[in-house]
Amino acid sequence: MERVWPPMKCFSIKMKQMVCFWLLVNILHIFRRTEPLRPLERMNPMRIDFLGLHAFVAIAERGSFQHAAAHLNLSQTALSHRIRKLEEDLGVKLLSRTTREVSLTQAGLNLLPKVKETIESLAGSLDELRHEGRSRQETLSIGCLPTIASGRLPKALRRFQERHPDVMLRIYDNSATEISSLVHDGTIAFGITLVAAHRWDFDIEMLIKDPFTLVCPEDHPLAAQSDVSWSDLTEEPLIRISLQTGNRIIIDDALGSRREALSWRFEVQHIQTAVALVRAGVALTVIPSLAFDTVDERGLKLIPLRNPSVTRQLGIISKRGTPLSPLADELRKLIVQTFAEPKHRSSAGRIDKPGGRMKKIHQSP
């Protein structure tokens, strides 16, 4: 005989079925949140909010919601929504916003370099995939100092592109130390860089001697002089460039102990920053003449330095024992030709005009 739960004795069969279904639905609802995660859910606990991360980087780099919104072609409301959603997903505040400025919280400061590195890596991967299908397109990678990338190099690259429009050129405009590493590990075919104290495993082709010159406002008392001695600068506030550029090492080695008599009041990372400070009348600076190939010299005076005269030697370095490809060798010849052409300048600081053939140096161990 069927045993029936007492409260259900008075129910019809249809009613009993409905009650059982209702109980089953509620039991499943109770256990729904405790069921084991599927494999895909265990691997991806949360979706990555790329739009929010992109918005976060844009604000951090520009220090303004308004400028970041303009860069991303968004309204400020939409940008604020992306940031708010990202912060809610992460459970932390990334930005501290007032009526006057936007600053990063400690969590934002910790996250920013990681996000930028990831986005750059992803962009590079996507760029490689984008060009992978272009089977006919070749890629040529070279390195150069930033002052050359914005000065002499574009002219040579334009000539090369006219001859080989299907070749993709990748330019690493890095420091001298970084260029040496890129040549050594084969990332680039060759580099245009400082040639002093390079390793024995490089072949070096000299390009030019680039003198360091004093940069001062045109109304400065020293601007009336045809040249300036280093001893004339002992009472002047000076701006020097970071040690990482390589230029500072050359100046320090040339001056020796005399560099201690100079009043280095400012240190910056880039030549453009130093020039901007000089233009504003903050201090004077000493930089290579080639740095002015693309700089507006109005309001400034370039004056040669003597006692001692300091120059940096620029050249093309390549890995010994690794012949250049035909394309790389053709570009190298165009660069040598471009540097051999005279460069005219109306100011006092002129660069050298190299004559004759470039000298190729094979350093011995």
As a three-state string, the secondary structure of 289-323 is HHHHCCCCCCCEEEEEEECCCCEEEEEEEEECCCC
Kindly tell me if the per-residue pLDDT of 356 is higher than 70: no
Query: What digits encode the pLDDT tens for the residues 251-279?
Result: 888 888 888 889 889 998 888 888 899 99
Q: How far apart are CA 253 and CA 31, in angstroms?
A: 75
Kindly tell me if the per-residue pLDDT of 217 is higher than 90: yes
- Looking at 3.40.50.1220, 3.30.70.380, 2.60.40.1080, 3.40.190.290, the CATH number of the domain 209-312 comes to 3.40.190.290
Question: What rounded mean pLDDT belongs to the chain?
Answer: 79
Model confidence at 140, in pLDDT bands (50, 70, 90)?
A: very high
| The amino acid at 40 | L
The confidence score (pLDDT) of residue 255 equals: 86
Regarding predicted confidence, which is higher, 134 or 104?
104
The confidence score (pLDDT) of residue 261 equals: 85
Query: Which of 132-136, 322-326, 331-335 has the lowest average pLDDT?
Result: 132-136
Q: Which helix (H) or strand (E) holds 254?
A: helix 247-255
Q: Nearest Cα to 101, choosing from 136, 127, 67, 151?
A: 67
Instruction: Decide: 250 and 196 in contact? Cβ < 8 Å.
Output: yes
C-alpha angle 118-124-125 in degrees, rounded to nearest 5: 90
Q: How far apart are CA 348 and CA 222, in angstroms?
A: 12
Residues of the chain above pLDDT 90, percent: 34
The confidence score (pLDDT) of residue 134 equals: 53
Query: What digits encode the pLDDT tens for the residues 148-192?
Result: 877 788 999 999 999 999 899 999 998 888 999 999 999 999 999
The confidence score (pLDDT) of residue 15 equals: 55
Residues contacting 78, CB < 8 A, separation 6+: 69
Model confidence at 127, in pLDDT bands (50, 70, 90)?
A: confident
The confidence score (pLDDT) of residue 12 equals: 53
Going from the C-alpha of 78 to that of each of 65, 66, 85, 91, 330, the distances in angstroms are 10, 11, 11, 20, 50
Model confidence at 28, in pLDDT bands (50, 70, 90)?
A: very low
Domain range list for the chain:
50-132, 139-207+314-362, 209-312
Residues contacting 250, CB < 8 A, separation 6+: 194, 196, 212, 310, 312
User: Across residues 214-229, what is the average pLDDT?
Assistant: 92
Domain 50-132 shares a fold with domain 209-312: no
Query: Which of 36-50, 65-79, 200-214 has the lowest average pLDDT?
Result: 36-50
Residues contacting 221, CB < 8 A, separation 6+: none
Query: What digits encode the pLDDT tens for the residues 195-213?
Result: 865 567 889 999 989 899 9
Q: How far is CA 332 from the centre of its chain?
A: 24
- What is the CATH topology of the domain spanning 50-132? Arc Repressor Mutant, subunit A (1.10.10)
Q: How far apart are CA 259 and CA 30, in angstroms?
A: 78
The confidence score (pLDDT) of residue 186 equals: 92
Burial group, residue 207, by CB count within 10 angstroms (0-12, 13-18, 19+): buried
Tokens of 242: 């970071």
Q: How far apart are CA 16 and CA 224, in angstroms?
A: 107
- What is the CATH topology of the domain spanning 139-207+314-362? D-Maltodextrin-Binding Protein; domain 2 (3.40.190)
pTM exceeds 0.85 for this model: no
Model confidence at 244, in pLDDT bands (50, 70, 90)?
A: low
Burial group, residue 239, by CB count within 10 angstroms (0-12, 13-18, 19+): buried
The position carrying tokens 């005219």 is 344
